[in-house]
Amino acid sequence: MERLERSGRWLRAALARGPLRRRLPWLLLAIVVLGSALKDSDLVPDTPLQNKRNPLNVYFVKVAWAWTLWLLLPFITLSTYELGRSKFLYGRTRSALLALRRLGALLVGTAVWYLCTELFIYIENLTGECSLQGKPSQPGQPPRLYASKRECQRDSGVWNGFDISGHCFLLSYCAMMILEELAVLEALAIERGSKLRVVINVLLVSLCSLTMIWVFMFLCTALYFHDFSQKILGVLIGLAAWYGTYRFWYLKPFSPGLPLPNIPLSSKKYSYSR
């Protein structure tokens, strides 16, 4: 338990404040550029991580939004409710409404994930064509035209289209969203030794571990998969989704709001304004 408390204190100091949130977007862009350069130069060694069936990819990245959603759900609920009661002296009903409003950020994130994923699939289907290697066409029959990657793969074909990196998009968006939500820890004070503090620390360590996995797998994607244009477009869309919500829309009255509500933008503690 003491080790958990020490880990929680260290992570609050390292991740809850603004500098890392400002630097991570540039780090992700640098990873794409340098990783792609190493890939194109054939300087990347062979490792199990280049196999799409590696455990981290199958059990984490493939369901990255689910992991992010189910860890942020209790963290946002508990931290926002406690913030409303301790920081702003709200009653239970108003604190619950504040938490419910902030959970709207997860609905927005789910919509962003779904719409962008569907857009990527649409673009790949629109720009691609099917290659049926080793499968001769029937005499007298015109070659079949395939409308989608799924139809092509159903006939054991290879679909060649512009495949925007969904990994680069989703991993960058999830990592930035987690760091933004951890900003609430700047203003959250919970009595040491309380059950709530233990739960918050467990969620904090879990979210930070998840973020490190996302960044590591983002690096693996940059080193082993996709073309540079597909990866840079994916990360730019992910960062644009983060910026458009947390740096623009969530500053407006009719929005889920920021993790630190009702704190003036000029406040020194409000790291979003710096």
Task: List residues with catalytic annotation.
Answer: 167, 226
Q: Exposed (0-12), middle (13-18) or buried (19+): which is 29, by Cβ within 10 Å?
A: middle
* Cα 239 from Cα 121, distance rounded (Å): 19
Cβ–Cβ < 8 Å for 49, 220: yes
Tell me how crowded residue 185 is: count the other CB atoms within 10 A of its CB.
23
Q: How many residues comprise the chain?
A: 274
3-state helix, strand, coil in the chain (%, to 5): 70, 0, 30
Which token pair is 271?
A: 């790291």
Alpha-carbon torsion (97, 98, 99, 105), positive or negative: positive
* DSSP reduced 3-state for 193: coil
Provide the CA 176 distance to its chain's centre, in angstroms: 6
* Cα 114 from Cα 184, distance rounded (Å): 26
